């Protein structure tokens, strides 16, 4: 009897030891799995924030959801130098186009730092041109990088939708350098520059936002102008971060009565006004100048120097 009872107890002990739930290895594995799942949940719950440019403090501030798109669509241009440069590049070759070159929607084009221009010339002084007079047409979501635009074209670049320009330079601006025709969204101008513009460099005819950073303009009459007398008018938004304007009339011209807002941050404006506020119209009449300089509403300037920079 004694032996039999001991055998029963022994059998019960062996049964308990053989149970999977009692193995410490399985228990650790289950615990580790739960920890891994928790880590994955934290990663998906906390999206990565767009990094601010080290040379453009506060880039994206005030742009709402557009700031998030800055690092995706317009924040770097892999291989393109989008830092502020004050020396115009020497082209590495030349491409003379008989017709405008179109960059399809969502596509990217790298110009290899060559000089791109039109031949024969489409520049007609300050006479308004059209898409056919440009060097490049950019469709919605397209990107143009590492390009030097020559002087023999009337319209430079036309963005039909939101676009991104990385390290794009203009040797001499004819009528306009870039015309933004997007209906909404944000177009980005990252790095690059322009010089010797008798009128406008960046012409904003559509809607949405134009975000400019690390840009150099020398002897530019107007770096940016929201259309003052287009047939279809809308409130436009423009931001300028770490921009240098060396000579000209004004960095940004906007239409306060139409709801335009220009924000200029951490920039240097020499020999020109920071902002001009106009009374825009849709009749085609010449817009009337309302005021000059930042007012904290239509034109907001933060850390902008006009001397000693």
Q: What number of other Cβ atoms are within 10 A of residue 255's Cβ?
A: 26
Q: Which two tokens stand for residue 275?
A: 């902002």
Instruction: Please compute, for residue 297, the number of CA atoms within 13 A of its CA located in the half-sphere on the CB side.
Output: 7
Instruction: Give the model's pLDDT for residue 78.
Output: 58
CB 81 within 8 A of CB 116: no
278: β partners: 255, 289
Which pLDDT tens digit goes with each residue over 225-263? 999 999 999 999 999 999 999 999 999 999 999 999 999
CB 185 within 8 A of CB 209: yes
Average pLDDT, rounded, for the chain: 82
Instruction: Give the model's pLDDT for residue 125.
Output: 76
Instruction: Give the model's pLDDT for residue 17.
Output: 42
Instruction: Give the model's pLDDT for residue 127.
Output: 65
Which pLDDT tens digit goes with each residue over 123-178? 987 667 789 999 999 999 999 999 999 999 989 999 999 999 999 999 999 999 99
At 172 the three-state DSSP class reads coil
| Average pLDDT score over residue span 105-124 | 96
CATH superfamily of 66-305: Single-stranded right-handed beta-helix, Pectin lyase-like (2.160.20.10)
Q: Which two tokens stand for residue 236?
A: 């436009």
pTM for this model (two decimals): 0.76
pLDDT at 2 over 80: no
Residues 6 or more apart whose CB falls under 8 angstroms from that of 265 comprise 57, 58, 61, 239, 240, 241, 242, 301, 302, 303, 304
Tell me which of 23-27, 177-181, 237-241 is least confident: 23-27
Q: How far apart are the first and last CA of the chain?
A: 103
Which pLDDT tens digit goes with each residue over 78-98? 599 999 999 999 999 999 999
Which pLDDT tens digit goes with each residue over 36-95? 333 333 333 333 333 333 333 333 333 332 333 333 333 444 599 999 999 999 999 999
**Annotated domain spans of the chain:** 66-305
DSSP category for residue 94:
E
At 70 the three-state DSSP class reads helix
Cis peptide before 52 (omega within 30 of 0): no
How many angstroms separate the CA atoms of 219 and 210, rounded? 21
Which pLDDT tens digit goes with each residue over 286-298? 999 999 999 999 9
């Amino acid at each position: 009897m004694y032996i039999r009872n001991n055998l029963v107890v022994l059998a019960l002990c062996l049964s308990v030891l053989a149970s999977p739930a009692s193995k410490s290895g399985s228990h650790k594995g289950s615990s580790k799995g739960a920890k891994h799942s928790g880590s994955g949940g934290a990663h998906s719950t906390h999206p990565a924030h767009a990094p601010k440019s080290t040379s453009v403090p506060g880039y994206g501030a005030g742009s709402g959801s557009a700031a998030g798109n800055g690092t995706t669509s317009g924040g770097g241009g892999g291989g393109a130098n989008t830092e502020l440069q004050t020396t115009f590049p020497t082209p590495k070759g030349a491409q003379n186009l008989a017709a405008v070159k179109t960059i399809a929607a969502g596509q990217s084009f790298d110009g290899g730092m060559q000089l791109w221009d039109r031949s024969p010339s489409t520049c007609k002084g300050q006479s308004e041109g059209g898409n056919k007079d440009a060097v490049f047409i950019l469709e919605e979501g397209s990107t143009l990088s590492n390009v030097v635009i020559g002087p023999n074209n009337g319209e430079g670049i036309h963005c039909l939708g939101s676009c991104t320009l990385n390290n794009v330079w203009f040797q001499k601006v004819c009528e306009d350098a870039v015309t933004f025709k997007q209906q909404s969204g944000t177009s980005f101008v990252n790095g690059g520059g322009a010089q010797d513009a008798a009128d406008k460099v960046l012409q904003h005819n559509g809607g949405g936002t134009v975000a400019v950073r690390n840009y150099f303009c020398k002897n530019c009459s107007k770096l940016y102008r929201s259309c003052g007398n287009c047939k279809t008018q809308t409130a436009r938004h423009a931001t300028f971060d770490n921009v240098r304007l060396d000579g000209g009339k004004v960095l940004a011209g906007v239409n306060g009565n139409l709801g335009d807002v220009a924000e200029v941050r951490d920039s240097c404006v020499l020999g020109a006004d920071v902002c001009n506020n106009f009374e825009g119209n849709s009749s085609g009449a010449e817009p009337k100048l309302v005021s000059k300089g930042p007012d904290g509403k239509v034109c907001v300037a933060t850390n902008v120097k006009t001397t000693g920079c």
